[in-house]
């Protein structure tokens, strides 16, 4: 009986903790959805928990048309997809070399990648501005794609390296004995086995780049090149702000991330625990 009570008490504490965690994580999204259906008067009244008297579907019409949603959406998809492709290729090659090759400076190179995880993105704005100005690539997508790749690669190398270390060496040794080259071992063996952590890297990179604003606001000034977070500025004028349309635009901007996350949520778990037993 004492053991059963102690187990029940601990289970209850865990349930309460998880319930509070769910509320704190889900409530902001639910509040944003309610916010997007309200008028400015209802929003400014300060009653955050009140339901909209009449759902304002016109906010979504304004967000879609007035916020130039499709153009910003395309720019975000382009920048994010190019960044993800480059990060996966570069990080998998680096992790393959660090984890599978026997060379003296492998851990030193890994240390450099780990140091890259500690550098804040904001600390590089001024030097990057000077470098890109001299390279004449300011106000182009390249000016944000290059830093995105640089800041996303270290964590990707860290995840993939930890997984590739757990792959038995006999697999690649037998492939090499059969005449496979290093490139073929990497492409036909290591990459297919590393799909779970690669999916994790893809999702983490997608969420980070999709929501990034500071670098894009610093290096991009042309409206035709701006990404989705800039659409919020379309509803702010000198004398008025359409808060409902801003909420609707934020919902539309978060929708692709939410859909992709729920479709691939199990891949995140598999990738994060991959290699945990032997690593």
Looking at residue 199, its pLDDT comes to 87
Helices within the chain (DSSP H only)? 2-36, 40-44, 58-66, 69-100, 106-116, 125-135, 142-164, 169-177, 182-185, 191-193, 195-210, 214-219, 243-263, 265-273
Paired residues of 241 in beta bridges: 236
Looking at residue 272, its pLDDT comes to 56
- Extract long-range pairs of 42-45: CB within 8 Å, 24+ residues apart: 43/243, 43/244, 43/247, 44/243
pLDDT digits (tens, 9 = 90+) for 135-158: 999 999 999 999 999 999 999 999
Nearest alpha carbon to residue 205 among 159, 251, 167 = 159
- In a domain, residue 130? The reply is yes
- In a domain, residue 244? The reply is yes
- In a domain, residue 133? The reply is yes
- In a domain, residue 33? The reply is no
Q: How many angstroms separate the CA atoms of 235 and 56, rounded?
A: 16
Looking at residue 7, its pLDDT comes to 54
- The domain of 244 spans 70-277
Q: How many angstroms separate the CA atoms of 113 and 90, rounded?
A: 12
- In a domain, residue 95? The reply is yes
Cα-to-chain-centroid distance, residue 202: 8
Give pTM, 2 decimals.
0.82
- In a domain, residue 82? The reply is yes
3-state secondary structure of 220: coil
Number of domains in the chain: 1
Looking at residue 169, its pLDDT comes to 84
pLDDT digits (tens), the chain, 279 positions: 455 555 577 788 888 888 888 778 788 888 888 888 998 888 888 777 788 888 889 889 888 887 788 899 999 999 999 999 999 999 999 999 998 888 888 888 888 888 888 888 888 999 999 999 999 999 999 999 999 999 999 999 999 998 998 888 888 888 888 888 888 988 988 998 988 889 889 888 998 999 898 999 899 988 889 998 887 887 877 677 888 888 899 899 888 888 887 777 666 666 555 544 444
Looking at residue 219, its pLDDT comes to 92
- In a domain, residue 272? The reply is yes
Q: How many angstroms separate the CA atoms of 244 and 255, rounded?
A: 17
**The tokens 């904001």 sit on which residue?**
122
């Amino acid at each position: 009986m004492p053991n059963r009570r102690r187990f029940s008490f601990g289970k209850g504490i865990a349930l309460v903790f998880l319930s509070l965690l769910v509320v704190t994580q889900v409530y902001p999204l639910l509040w944003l959805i309610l916010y997007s259906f309200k008028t400015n008067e209802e929003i400014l009244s300060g009653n955050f928990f009140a339901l909209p008297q009449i759902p304002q579907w016109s906010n979504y019409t304004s967000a879609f048309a007035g916020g130039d949603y499709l153009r910003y959406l395309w720019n975000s998809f382009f920048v994010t997809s190019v960044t993800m492709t480059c990060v996966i290729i570069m990080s998998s090659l680096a992790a393959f070399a660090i984890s599978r090759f026997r060379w003296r400076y492998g851990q030193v190179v890994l240390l450099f990648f780990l140091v890259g995880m500690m550098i804040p993105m904001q600390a590089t704005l001024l030097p990057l501005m000077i470098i890109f100005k001299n390279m004449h690539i300011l106000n182009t997508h390249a000016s944000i794609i290059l830093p995105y790749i640089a800041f996303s690669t270290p964590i990707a190398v860290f995840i993939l390296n930890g997984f590739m270390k757990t792959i038995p060496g006999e697999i690649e040794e037998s492939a090499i004995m059969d005449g496979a080259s290093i490139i073929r071992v990497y492409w036909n063996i290591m990459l297919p086995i590393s799909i779970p952590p690669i999916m994790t890297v893809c999702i983490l990179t997608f969420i980070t780049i999709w929501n990034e604003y500071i670098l894009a606001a610093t290096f991009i000034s042309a409206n035709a090149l701006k990404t989705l977070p800039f659409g919020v500025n379309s509803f702010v004028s000198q004398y008025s702000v359409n808060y409902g349309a801003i909420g609707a635009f934020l919902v539309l901007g978060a929708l692709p991330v939410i859909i992709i996350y729920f479709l691939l949520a199990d891949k995140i778990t598999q990738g994060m625990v991959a290699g945990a037993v032997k690593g």
